[in-house]
Amino acid sequence: MANHKVVCWDCGCDVDDPFVNTCPKCGGLLTVKMDLEPVKEMRPEDLRKEPIGVWRYAPFLPVDYDKRVSIKEGGTPLYRTDALAAECGIGELHVKYEGANPTGSFKDRGMTIGVSHAVELGAKVVGCASTGNTSASLAAYASKAGIRCAVFLPSGKVAAGKLAQAMFFGAKVISVDGNFDDALRLAREMAEERSLYLLNSINPYRPEGQKSVLFEIMDQLAYDVPDRIILPVGNAANIWAVYKAVKELEEVGWIDKIPMLTGIQAEGAAPVARAFKDKDKDFVPEEHPETVATAIRIGNPVSGRKALHAIYDTGGYSTTVTDDEILAAQKMLGRREGVGVEPASAASVAGAKKLREMGIIDKDERVVCICTGNALKDPDTIIAHSDPVCQCPNDVAAVRKILLG
Ligand SMILES: *Cc1c(COP(=O)(O)O)cnc(C)c1O
């Protein structure tokens, strides 16, 4: 017996066709409804036989543990970052370092579920549109599953590390003349004619795996719920996934407090933050999203309405940060904590700093920033914004001059 069903988030009807990505009746967004009755008999300790990682939380997941396509995703460190906390003036600050996933971003959490489900359905070709990390992750999991993979990328706007990964894992890489939103439209059309099984986060199975980042944070904090969790928001599935995990833990009685979910966007790609500012439940898409944080360079976020619901329902917040603030936060995390993240990930830290300055974050708050991807994903941005290397003749006197002045 399946432990879940797919339902329409908007009209609530059951959706039985596994190949649709929107509600056949109302066109609404889909979501997975888990049957958590068996989990209500359990305690967090009961899951600890399995090492920390996505599959520790199998009773919360819509795929059988025995049918998993896994490369041991999740189980990422939660750093207590006291130097960063002092810099931001925040009481207690932690960084959940998603760059430590197998392909270097949190996307692996969703892909282990998405690709396992695709294999269950008998899919032979999987595909996605991507700003880079989704394609890197999907390509790796398709390899592990032994199925084919096609990825649609916005031309010229994908960070080098991510593009290299998709190519390396053997995906068919299609570079689209247009932005991410255009690439997604094409991928969705191919999925509608059943030429591929779509694994963008509009697929309701992916956020199910992404819930695990919240489960892990709770485990790592011994279920002492933080006041606030801050994430970068692009296509907006991750903040929705974290929200869903919070609600599920509340449903099974493992937590009795809800963290304020806080979504940060780049100033040049901020439909969700703008809607929040206007207290709207829906957002206005942006035609020309632009930011150095390419992973969140998205103007028409698929899960934008879900993200807004997550933010409002938890008493959270949303705001924007500039590219300069993002790059400064990225550098601060590297120089003060030895943690290397890509620009989009640093938006959460930049947001923490800004919201503290605005007085939205209280000085005594316990805050977790989710840092979504690894610094090595985007070496070009780092090199462009770092001090130049010291060119040196092959000679010890010259070295001495450089080092000692
Ligand atoms: C995908 C991604 C995001 C955005 O996540 P959404 O679920 O689309 O909001 C942020 N940072 C990185 C590094 C990503 O790969």
pTM of the model as a whole: 0.97
Beta-carbon neighbour count of residue 391 at 10 Å?
Answer: 7
For residue 140 and ligand 1, the question of a CB distance below 6 A is answered with no
> Which atom from ligand 1 is nearest to the alpha carbon of 293?
11
**Over the stretch 243-269, which tens digit does the pLDDT of each residue have?**
999 999 999 999 999 999 999 999 999
Ligand 1 centroid from CA 340, angstroms = 16
For residue 293 and ligand 1, the question of a CB distance below 6 A is answered with no
> Which atom from ligand 1 is nearest to the alpha carbon of 377?
13
Please tell me the predicted confidence (pLDDT) of residue 349: 98
Dihedrals phi, psi of 33, to nearest 5 degrees: -105, 115
In the predicted model, is pLDDT for residue 278 greater than 90?
yes
Instruction: Decide: helix, strand or coil at residue 34.
Output: strand
177, two tokens: 């003349």
Band of the pLDDT at 298, cuts 50, 70, 90?
very high
User: If you count them, how many residues does the chain have?
Assistant: 405
Band of the pLDDT at 350, cuts 50, 70, 90?
very high
For residue 310 and ligand 1, the question of a CB distance below 6 A is answered with no
> Which atom from ligand 1 is nearest to the alpha carbon of 263?
9
Band of the pLDDT at 66, cuts 50, 70, 90?
very high
Instruction: Decide: helix, strand or coil at residue 53.
Output: coil
Q: Cα(152)–Cα(178) distance, rounded to whole angstroms?
A: 10
* 37 contacts: CB under 8 Å, gap ≥ 6: none
* 302 contacts: CB under 8 Å, gap ≥ 6: 29, 184, 200, 201, 202, 235, 236, 237
Contact yes or no for 224/255 (Cβ under 8 A) = no
Band of the pLDDT at 53, cuts 50, 70, 90?
very high
> Which atom from ligand 1 is nearest to the alpha carbon of 233?
9
Q: Cα(246)–Cα(226) distance, rounded to whole angstroms?
A: 12
Please tell me the predicted confidence (pLDDT) of residue 254: 98
346, two tokens: 């640093």
> Which atom from ligand 1 is nearest to the alpha carbon of 237?
7
Please tell me the predicted confidence (pLDDT) of residue 157: 85
**Over the stretch 70-83, which tens digit does the pLDDT of each residue have?**
999 999 999 999 99
Testing ligand 1's pocket by substitution, the residue of 95, 134, 238 carrying the most ligand atoms inside 8 A of its CB is 238
Q: What is the mean pLDDT of residues 274-300?
A: 96
Ligand 1 centroid from CA 363, angstroms = 27
- Strand 78-80 to 92-97 pairing: antiparallel
In the predicted model, is pLDDT for residue 2 greater than 90?
no
In the predicted model, is pLDDT for residue 21 greater than 70?
yes
**Over the stretch 390-399, which tens digit does the pLDDT of each residue have?**
999 999 999 9
Please tell me the predicted confidence (pLDDT) of residue 375: 97
Q: Cα(165)–Cα(138) distance, rounded to whole angstroms?
A: 10
Please tell me the predicted confidence (pLDDT) of residue 357: 98
Q: Cα(124)–Cα(118) distance, rounded to whole angstroms?
A: 8
Q: Cα(270)–Cα(286) distance, rounded to whole angstroms?
A: 8
Please tell me the predicted confidence (pLDDT) of residue 1: 64
Testing ligand 1's pocket by substitution, the residue of 73, 105, 111 carrying the most ligand atoms inside 8 A of its CB is 105
For residue 149 and ligand 1, the question of a CB distance below 6 A is answered with no
Q: What is the mean pLDDT of residues 154-180?
A: 95
For residue 244 and ligand 1, the question of a CB distance below 6 A is answered with no
96, two tokens: 């959940």
Start-to-end CA distance of the chain, whole Å, equals 72
Ligand 1 centroid from CA 398, angstroms = 45
86, two tokens: 């002092």
In the predicted model, is pLDDT for residue 304 greater than 80?
yes
The tally of CA atoms less than 13 A away on the side-chain side of residue 50 is 18
Ligand 1 centroid from CA 259, angstroms = 20
Instruction: Decide: helix, strand or coil at residue 157.
Output: coil
Dihedrals phi, psi of 84, to nearest 5 degrees: -65, -40
> Which atom from ligand 1 is nearest to the alpha carbon of 201?
7
